[in-house]
């Protein structure tokens, strides 16, 4: 089974600042609930680089497949649990997070909580990016 989610938040910051904030992988824990991110291969700022996001103990290793500053970053999820692709995009003053995931059979049960967590994270991101240095 697969699903697609697209969430958007307005950010009172210039597009290049939004892009730099959304790709500051090591600081994602400041706005994504329960997540620690590290660059595990490459520089984290180019195609082929890999990052690992550990959310509530679950590893989500991703490889950057598109790096287009200040517009978008695309990744492929490489994990055993999280599979699929994601796009992090800047559209004007909006941050758009799109996930295309292969999900387990129980996903419909956890989807409301998952979406709530992502929405709250995006609200936190807006504040993070607006003050980003």
The closest of 119, 84, 87, 127 to 103, measured between CA atoms, is: 84
Q: Which domains does the chain have, with CATH numbers?
A: 2-131 (3.30.530.20)
pLDDT digits (tens, 9 = 90+) for 68-86: 999 999 999 998 888 999 9
How sure is the predictor about 5, in pLDDT bands with cuts at 50, 70 and 90?
A: very high
- What's the N-to-C CA distance of the chain in angstroms? 40
pLDDT at 70: 97
Give dist(CA 11, CA 23) in Å, integer: 15
Residue 1 Cα distances to 61, 97, 106, 130, angstroms = 20, 20, 10, 37
What pLDDT shows up at residue 4?
A: 96
pLDDT digits (tens, 9 = 90+) for 13-60: 999 999 999 999 999 999 999 999 999 999 999 999 999 999 989 999
**DSSP at 26:** G
Give the pLDDT mean for 106-115: 92
Between 107 and 37, residue with greater pLDDT: 37
* Residue 79 confidence (pLDDT): 86
* pTM of the predicted structure, to 2 decimals: 0.93
């Amino acid at each position: 089974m697969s699903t697609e989610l697209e969430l958007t938040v307005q950010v009172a910051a210039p597009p290049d600042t939004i892009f730099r904030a959304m790709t500051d992988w090591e600081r994602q824990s400041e706005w994504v609930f329960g997540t620690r991110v590290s660059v595990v291969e490459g520089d984290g700022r180019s195609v082929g680089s890999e990052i690992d996001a550990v959310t509530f103990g679950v590893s989500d290793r991703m490889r950057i497949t598109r790096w287009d500053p200040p517009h978008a970053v695309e990744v492929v999820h490489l994990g055993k649990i999280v599979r699929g692709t994601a796009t992090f995009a800047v559209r004007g003053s909006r941050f758009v997070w799109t996930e295309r995931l292969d999900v387990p059979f129980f996903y419909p049960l956890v989807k409301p909580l998952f979406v709530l967590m992502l929405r709250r994270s995006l609200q936190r991101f807006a504040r993070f990016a607006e003050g980003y240095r």
